[in-house]
Structure 1
Amino acid sequence: MSLTALPTFAGQLARAWQRHWPHYVAEAAGLGFFVVCAGLLTVLMEHPASPLAAVVPASHLLRRAWLGAGMLLVVAAIVYSPWGKRSGAHINPAVTLAFWQLGKLRTPDAVWYVLAQLAGALAGAGLLRGTLGRQWYGHPAVRYTVTQPDPALGGWPVALGAEFVISFVMMWVLLLALHSARLKTWAGWLLGLLLALYILLETPLSGMSLNPARSLGTAVAAGSYSGLWVYWLAPPAAMWLATVAFRHFHHGEDLTCAILAGCSPTPSSPHSPGEEPPHYPDA
């Protein structure tokens, strides 16, 4: 059957895959890499038999500070890598939803992005479970890095509120940076710094997800889905609302692309209304 014979949206999805599959693979690889790094760093910081057990701080707060510093570098590596620049390094369905809402990503691309992100998160967490197993990845101090509300700290209402606030703030900071000629190239580092701060201060409240796909991947690895709906509701809703609010209040430079590393229009890539995102401009 030819592509033109397919139902309209199915045909659009098929044509988008033919044109942009490297972008989707980049999204899957980016989130898979993020999940693997988060798992490995958590094992190194928290597992009692960790090779770093003799040097990691005894304080939970300081260990989270070390973990946050490590994840800052991971985020920067993803955002500014050639693959991250190619796809935009969304690595989060909620971020993709926001860029789609802004008109910087067509619907078929957005659908493939979300599917790729889910696949990457599931593959990353599955890889950790398959290689480290219950002894390391499933140890009570690591718990598959699953994100779940803590009943001792208010349960799902607190986790829902905390996830909403941190997601709203993160999207607002991202949009503020990407709409600024001075800050757009620093957006990845700003997000990394914010993520490190969240790991340090917010983790006890909700597990610090921000990302529905990441939470699903670790939940499947753990075989535990308690409170998963919180992480599928709060981040997308918060980032959607932040995008709506930002568009209402912001009247400065327009967003040129859906790429977290930032970009600027060029003669070969004018970012005209007819251009098909995702597209990174040639240097």
Structure 2
Amino acid sequence: MTFFPDMGRAWRRHWPHYVAEAAGIGFFMLCGTLLTILFEHPASPVQQALAGQELLRRAGIGLGMGLVIVVLVYNPWGKKSGAHINPAVTIAFWQLGKIRWADACWYMLAQLAGALLIGQLLKLALGAAFAHPAINYLVTEPKPEHGQLVAFGAEFVISFILMLVMLLALHHERLRKSTGWLIGALLLLYITFESPLSSMSLNPARTLGSAVAAQSYAGLWLYWVAPIVAMWLAAIFFNRVYKGQTMACAILAGCEAAPGSPHAREPHATEPPVYPQAVAK
């Protein structure tokens, strides 16, 4: 059995990348909470100025979170880890053979740890503001007026589209380095127009971090099943359409994998390469 030795070797080689994933999802949730308080808390002057303008408030949050994603993707740590910050994204890349199983396990553990930790820290630091019904710990739960079936379908569709756009952009030579901006644009659209249907999660770890902080688990299963299955199927679809064609890079910033990262072929490694080698010019 090689599970524990492989996990140990992966940790010793790549632990900074796992820390980057945990910090990335923590930063994402921190910004999401602060933006939601800014636009939705009744005591906020922005909320008061936009009272009755729910669509504009959601657009403001969406624009802010889109820019947060851009920062996460293109900062030096994001370029190193790949800026997955989402177990569903990591599973999809593993399905494509772009990340070794031990690294994928550590990525997902780091993402979950980061989300759970920031949820508790926000609860401790923000107290009543984080718990206010307008913020509600940033939980993603099915809307009562739509129910779980609509929420599941909406999460599935937006997750499938997000992953497919991501893969198509990374496969396209001219769009590769704009992938982070495309993801940010999709987040803006999703938060503005889709969130009334499902609360807009896309990310099982983020949903779990908020759910544990709120001690509220309504519909939690669908925010795990829908994004993971949808992104996994998007990866399978992409692989069938582009079978035999490789992506020069699968890091979301569109950069080449740095030597020694979980995304680079290592000398004498027995695992498959994480990302294909760049196509020779």
**TM-score, normalised to structure 2's length?**
0.91
The answer on 1:249 being equivalent to 2:235 is: no
* CA deviation profile, 1:26-72 (whole Å, cap 9, x unmatched): 00000000011101100110000124334345311110000001001
Q: CA 1:196/1:267 → structure 2, altered by over 3 Å: closer, same or farther?
A: closer
Q: Which residue of 2 aligns with 1:120?
A: 114
CA distance in structure 1 between the partners assigned to 2:72 and 2:277 by the alignment: 15
* CA deviation profile, 1:202-235 (whole Å, cap 9, x unmatched): 1011110000000000000111011000001000
Q: CA 1:57/1:114 → structure 2, altered by over 3 Å: closer, same or farther?
A: same
CA distance in structure 2 between the partners assigned to 1:62 and 1:42 by the alignment: 13
1:202 is paired with a residue of what secondary structure?
helix
Q: Is the 8 A contact 1:86 1:279 kept in 2?
A: no
* CA deviation profile, 1:86-124 (whole Å, cap 9, x unmatched): 100000000000111111100000000000000111112
Q: CA 1:265/1:215 → structure 2, altered by over 3 Å: closer, same or farther?
A: closer
Q: Is the 8 A contact 1:79 1:260 kept in 2?
A: yes
2:218 is paired with a residue of what secondary structure?
coil
Match of 1:92 among 59, 81, 86: 86
Deviation (angstroms), 1:126? 1.4
Deviation (angstroms), 1:254? 1.5
* CA deviation profile, 1:239-277 (whole Å, cap 9, x unmatched): 000110111112585213331001247999995585764
CA distance in structure 1 between the partners assigned to 2:100 and 2:132 by the alignment: 42
Q: Which amino acid aligns with 1:248?
A: R
Deviation (angstroms), 1:278? 7.8
CA distance in structure 2 between the partners assigned to 1:217 and 1:130 by the alignment: 14
Q: Which residue of 2 aligns with 1:179?
A: 171
CA distance in structure 2 between the partners assigned to 1:271 and 1:263 by the alignment: 12
1:261 is paired with a residue of what secondary structure?
coil
Where does the alignment leave 5 or more consecutive residues of structure 1 unmatched? 1-6
Query: Where has structure 1 moved over 6 Å in runs of 4 or more?
Result: 265-270, 278-281
Q: Is the 8 A contact 1:158 1:206 kept in 2?
A: yes
The answer on 1:206 being equivalent to 2:206 is: no
Q: Percent identity?
A: 59
CA distance in structure 2 between the partners assigned to 1:268 and 1:130 by the alignment: 37
Q: Is the 8 A contact 1:164 1:234 kept in 2?
A: yes
CA distance in structure 2 between the partners assigned to 1:102 and 1:185 by the alignment: 20
Deviation (angstroms), 1:152? 1.2
Q: Is the 8 A contact 1:88 1:278 kept in 2?
A: no
Q: Which residue of 1 aligns with 2:19?
A: 25
Deviation (angstroms), 1:125? 1.5
Q: CA 1:214/1:177 → structure 2, altered by over 3 Å: closer, same or farther?
A: same
The answer on 1:80 being equivalent to 2:74 is: yes
Task: Give the count of matched residue pairs.
Answer: 273
2:58 is paired with a residue of what secondary structure?
helix
Moved more, 208-217 or 46-55: 46-55
Aligned Cα RMSD in Å?
A: 2.4
Q: Is the 8 A contact 1:263 1:280 kept in 2?
A: no
CA distance in structure 1 between the partners assigned to 2:19 and 2:259 by the alignment: 27
